[in-house]
Structure 1
Amino acid sequence: MDRHKFFRHNTEKLPIDLIIEVLSRLPAKSVAICRCVSKHCDSLLASQVFKESFLTSSLSRPLLLFKFDRMWQFFSTPKRQNFCDNLNVVATKYHMGSYRNFDIRSFQSVHGFIYMRCLSKVDEPSQVICNPCTRQQITLPRLETRNLGSQSFFAYDPIQKQFKVLCTMYDRKYKVLTLGTGELLWREIECSFPHHPESGRNGIRIKGVLYYIAYTSCGDSQIVCFDVSSEKFSFINIEMDRYVLELINYKDEKLGVLVCYSNCGFHAEVWVLDDTNEVKWSKHMFVMPMDGVKSMWTTERGDIVWVSSRWTHPSYISYCSMGSKRVRRVEIKGVEDTVSMRQDRCEFHTSTNHVENLMFLYKKPGLIHGTISN
């Protein structure tokens, strides 16, 4: 009996719930192979029930994702709590070449969907959302910004289960686009405290709230809190003698802020927001890496992990025990044979909580659809 007949013979005897539970633990590429076994398997694995189960399973095993400029090449590795001497990453090619030679100015991953702000030499910036697993790609409608520029944030509403893009424009207008509801339309929303997001920052998302650093019209620095469901803004003031270097999702449940007393110093503190109502912080000393920080997160134990801001050969992930304050570096393997370097460095983007997702944002004529890429 060949493997297809064996698989079909055994799966027809098993409860559907058990089959879904087992197969939802596979990587997306393996699911694509299983869909070729039979029409029965294809129908089951293409169902909304299975896709939701697969996403739930994927959320429990997040990935570190690396994306290099000017090429549709992604590298990923499991997001670990403990590290060995080497960290092996796997490169996967996704053939979505319409934005291949664009510069990426923003890169944000939410529940497996990737938002990118792409810039060419001749056109206005394009806002693109894609799913590497399904190869779906959507270009968002352009906004009239009167040549003043804008900045966008990608987020997920866990209550309505909707993806949203928040666009903050420098003429003090704020707009939201909700995906999956039909025609793509921007809606203007109110904000009683005009602000400008700090350029180049993507913000972080914790329990349905988007946090990002911004400046008021008076030049004061604040942390903006945007409730994705209600689309309401609130703010957390930052003491003026501090310089905010990075926002952190502390243990996947609290807002963390990496601050220093000077933008050129290496001694810093990690502030953890323990009480959002009273705005009470706990503070932990931290020694800043001399080569800068690209992305930072924490383990379940509270150890701090980061990727250096410059990608070189070799390149490293570093992590610091908040107890001993000992810093350890782990070399990243698997990139050097694929990525061509320019002067021993290249531009790259990271996501610290990427997951595989088999869902489409929505189906509509004219959108790009596809199966899981090999």
Structure 2
Amino acid sequence: MEMVKRSKKQDEINVNDPFMTLQNDMNVEILMKLPPGSIARLHFASKHLSSIILGKEFTELYKTRSSTQPRHLVSVHGGHPYVWMHRFHSISQEYPSSNHDKVSCSVDPYGPCLATYDFTPPVRGLIFGRHCSNMVVGNPGTGQFVFLPRVETTHQCILCVFGYDPVNDVYKVLCMTVVTKHTPCVAMSEVHQVITVGAKEKWRRVECKYPYHHYPGYQEICRDGVIYYLASYKGKKSLMRFDLSSEDFNVTKLPEDQKLQRFGEMVNHTGKITVATTLLGCIDPVDLWVLEDVNKEVWSKTVVVVPSLPERFGMSYEFVFKGILGTGEMIFAPRTTPSPSPNPFFFLCYNPEGGKFRKIEIDELVDYPVFIQVFVDHVESYMVLSRVC
């Protein structure tokens, strides 16, 4: 029988590991009470806890708990001149005043000091950001971000969407190289490339048989391994679908509604694919178009009347509709904030049934915030990312 020698240093680490003396149930109970950043650090600090953290049983337990306790996620970029930083605020949707975590991170330590990453909605705990040709994927709960390889393109204008493939248990980024024609608001998608987030992965081309025009700046939604985003197809605003497993494209027609075709934007709606139309600068109802059957292209419409937000909360604010929580509350966040920015920063939860607003306030933002994004239904994760490039 071959004997395996143990190093003296390893023996010392195991002896000095206080978690070795506790039962596994107690260790799991301790870990479940910690924020994602602390769990990620313990993964490296304790070999015994690392075996639990990386185990399938604890992973599923934490994932299940997190999915039943979704959170608001606020991305803030700002600081003082020459000292800029990025911070993520994770806030309980159920108890926003008592459960609030903040994580500071250096997204681009070697980039321009005023670099502003535009982030897409978080997917299963991770988030994707892009600034010009720089792309990152990160965990806002731990503050860890990794750079993606540069996409190969001769054009400056690129658009990206981010999602999770449950079939293969991987995250992917779809990048669309576009050629702007006629108007800067509509861009012709020319080349489609995909990368799987992970070590030693590279961009690869995928074919799309639908010639469409992408709308820059519009939000996408990832549901059940499919990324949904709006585009112009055959001269009409349509819903594009990209299956992350098969890497196939499909298109779904939107209803022939003039307001929907002109102002429709995708919003987060707790598992539903919803396109909303709203003009919150004045007293105007919010139209919610929900996709009931993707194959038959069946949509349902609900109209919600929302009181004038600028009149209630200040004419200097312009609000944008962000989505609907599982409780039915509608989320409205300032599109722009007055200068100087208010402290505390706030966004709104509106209950259509009771006609009441809740103001969610966030203290201690970075000084001079220059770019703020609000996301809903964020599911926390302690996932540690591998170096990509």
For the aligned pair, the TM-score class normalised by the smaller chain equals 0.7 to 0.9
Contact 2:219 2:265 in 1 (8 A): no
Q: 1:133 to 1:271 in 2, by over 3 A?
A: closer
2:267 maps to what in 1?
248
Provide the TM-score with structure 2 as the length reference. Answer: 0.75
Equivalent of 2:86, from 72, 75, 79? 72
| Equivalent residue, structure 2, for 1:359 | 383
- Residue 209 of structure 1 deviates from its aligned partner by 1.7
Kindly provide the CA deviation profile for residues 302-355 of structure 1, in whole angstroms up to 9, marking residues without a partner as x: 33222221234154322333335x14141413135x3325xxxx3212322333
Structure 1: any 5+ residue segments left out of the alignment?
Answer: 120-124, 368-374
**Equivalent residue for 2:361, pick from 332, 339, 363:** 332
Relative to the length of structure 1, the TM-score reads 0.78
Superposed CA offset, 1:163-208 (max 9, x none): 000111215211111123x422112112111123211123111222
In the alignment, structure 2 segments of 5+ residues that lack a partner are: 1-15, 79-84, 180-189, 311-316
Corresponding residue to 2:351 among 315, 321, 331 = 321
| Counterpart among 296, 311, 318 of residue 278 in structure 1 | 296
Counterpart of 1:303 (choices 312, 319, 329) is 329
Q: How do 1:152-163 residues align onto structure 2 when only pairs under 5 Å count?
A: 152-163=160-171
Structure 1 residues 280 and 127 mapped into 2: Cα distance closer, same or farther (>3 Å)? same
Q: Is the 8 A contact 2:219 2:266 kept in 1?
A: no
C-alpha contact 1:89 1:334 (8 A) present in aligned 2: no
Is residue 90–residue 102 contact of structure 2 (8 Å, CA) maintained in 1?
yes
Question: 2:124 matched to 1:98?
Answer: no
Distance 1:358 1:193 in 2: 38
Q: Could you tell me which residue of structure 1 aligns to residue 208 of structure 2? A: 191
Distance 1:34 1:146 in 2: 44
Distance 2:18 2:155 in 1: 62
User: Residue 55 of structure 1 contacts residue 358 of structure 1 at CA under 8 Å; is this kept in 2?
Assistant: no
Say whether 1:40 aligns with 2:40: no
1:222 to 229, 238, 241: 238
Q: 1:287 to 1:148 in 2, by over 3 A?
A: farther
Cα distance in 2 for partners of 1:149, 1:264 equals 33
Indicate the percent of aligned positions where both proteins have the same amino acid: 26
Q: How far apart, CA to CA, are the structure 1 residues paired with 2:98 and 2:214? A: 34
Q: Which has the higher contact order (CA 8 A, sep 6+)?
A: 1
Q: Please report the RMSD computed on the Cα atoms of aligned residues, expressed in angstroms.
A: 3.3
Question: What is the number of residues matched between the two proteins?
Answer: 341
**AA of the residue aligned to 1:189:** V
- Say whether residues 1:115 and 2:115 are aligned partners: no
Q: In the alignment, is the contact (CA less than 8 A) between 2:280 and 2:318 conserved in 1?
A: no
**Matched residue type, 1:249:** N
With 151-160 and 274-283 compared, the bigger mean Cα shift is at: 274-283
